[in-house]
Amino acid sequence: MRRPNIVLILADDLGYSDIGCYGGEIRTPNLDRIGRSGVRLSQFYNTARCSPSRASLLTGLHPHQTGIGVLAGNNAPGGYPGSLNDRCVTVAELLGDVGYATGMSGKWHLSGPLWEPADSWPTRRGFSDFFGTLSGCGSYYDPATLYRGEQDASDETRDPRFFYTDAITDHAVDFIGREAAAGRPFFAYVAYTAPHWPLHAPEDDIAGYDGVYTAGWDELRARRLDRLHAEGLLGTESALSAPDPAQPSWASAPHQTWEARRMQVYAAQVERMDRGVGRILDRLAASGVSDDTIVVFLSDNGGCAEILPLGDPGEFRAGRHIVPAATREGAELRVGNLPGVDPGPEDTYASYGPAWANLSNTPFRLYKRWVHEGGIATPFVVHWPAGGLAAGRIVRTPCQLTDVLPTLLAAAGVTYPSEHRGHEVPPLEGRDMTPALRGEPVQDTWLFWEHLGNAAVRRGRWKLVREHAAPWELYDLDTDRSELTDLAGHHPDVVAELATAYQAWARRVGVIPRG
């Protein structure tokens, strides 16, 4: 059989409603094109944070089984190793073993060692062609831990035209063109860092959103929900959640011009990523392989409410985020959300804050790190004309990251092994989504989440969820997708059943309890 090509595109910290075909006002014509002509899932879930989501996406396991329960970086002896372990197998390893060319462009964030090659680096987990970063985030003008293969590529940032989003696209386009010309099936994993902070974008892109965000987060949340309804992604079960009570209304927000600028830069980051997606789609078309290429797009978690700096600025620069102390030209970096300092240029290092993250996650509540809908709901687009997935269909079957690998393996005709390179590997935790993607009815299944003590379990209409150390909450997602009315007190039997299932799952996959 002719194996399909696969392009897996992952955004970083993108909210459920940010792109156009999911209700956003951000210009994303390329994602909208494949979304509206392919298949969109209205209830697809990530695992609430970057490293765990990547681990689950690439292995078909829950992140705790892979060694990455929180983030990359060793938290032993009381925590997770923080590197992809040898008891899991990646999609790149599996596809490479059957003759696929495997290339990765962008953010890895699945290895504790960042400076010396290790068995958890992408080059040693199935990717024969790698360009990107190992760390979790960094400047778009001068990213840290930049490699080609296992060679330091930081010299490439000296080019004044260098911008990381474009560099990721460049590598992906070159890889696809080369392998398509060679006639080999290929797997391209394109892991953008956009729109993760820092808020960096070229000024022309930012100016394209002049005036768009002066309406403020309250009005724009309502508009996004209207468009989500119009797209057919959500219905009356998804009312607009109340604004974050810790944030001001737009009418009472100070520094409105600066606030609007923050969201302008975020939107510009997303649009530039979409432009890169357009270049990838164009290369597929020019190579004559569009129809038989599976293109998947999703985000690793919900919109991010983090406020910079996360701690002491000195510690922030020296810690896991690897923030440079100065720009390439030697100018001092202005770290933090500073009213009057417009984000975007290289000498700024800012985030967009909780109120705009609340907009990104419309209509849901809470954010990245939480396992309420705002933290785990993601846009999920699949486009594969030759596979019968080009009907403009919206699928409402609940699915999560563990389902992606079984789906890709089924499409490629690859059998998942019980052991790999001398190591026993756990069975896949998810299931092939293809029947659901084709509009066929499928049975309900259990879905589970845990991150930093935030926990959830879903079965059919019922979702049991809690914040760390807080009581369980119960929601009927068929009537209350936005999790507004806690029914735990009305259905203690359902709470008990789901809580028991969660505890059994947590023990089985190795969740480390948090004190």
Burial class (CB in 10 A: 0-12, 13-18, 19+), 79: middle
Q: Which of 50, 88, 137, 399 is catalytic?
A: 50
Query: How far is C-alpha 251 from the geometric centre of its chain's CA atoms?
Result: 31
- Show the tokens assigned to 254: 């100070």
**What is the Cα–Cα distance from 33 to 50, expressed in whole angstroms?**
26
- Show the tokens assigned to 94: 């599996």
Look up 399 and say whether it is catalytic: no
100 by DSSP, 3-state: which? coil
Pairing of strands 462-466, 473-476: antiparallel
Burial class (CB in 10 A: 0-12, 13-18, 19+), 427: exposed
- DSSP readout, 469-514? TSPPEEEETTT-TT--S--TTT-HHHHHHHHHHHHHHHHHHT----
For residue 79, give the H/E element and its range.
none
* CB-facing half-sphere around the CA of 368: CA atoms within 13 A: 27
- Bridge partners (DSSP) of residue 9 are 190, 297
**What is the Cα–Cα distance from 55 to 76, expressed in whole angstroms?**
18
Look up 50 and say whether it is catalytic: yes
Q: Which of 241, 199, 221, 433 is nearest to 337 (CA)?
A: 199
| CA diameter of the chain | 63
Instruction: Report how many helices (DSSP H) and strands (DSSP E) the chain contains, helices first.
Output: 14, 19
Q: Which of 27, 6, 22, 25 is nearest to 278 (CA)?
A: 27
252 by DSSP, 3-state: which? coil
- Show the tokens assigned to 387: 């596979």
Long-range Cβ contacts of 202-206 (<8 Å, 24+ apart): 202/163, 202/268, 202/272, 202/344, 203/344, 203/345, 205/268, 205/271, 205/272, 206/261, 206/264, 206/265, 206/268, 206/344
**What does DSSP assign to residue 244?**
P
Are 141 and 327 in contact, with CB atoms under 8 Å apart? Answer: yes
Q: Phi then psi for 357, rounded to 5 degrees?
A: -65, -35
B/e letters for 142-173, b = 16+ CB within 10 Å, e = fewer, are bbbbbbeeeeebeeebeeeebbbbbbbbebbb
Q: Which of 109, 200, 321, 372 is catalytic?
A: 109
Catalytic residue set = 50, 109
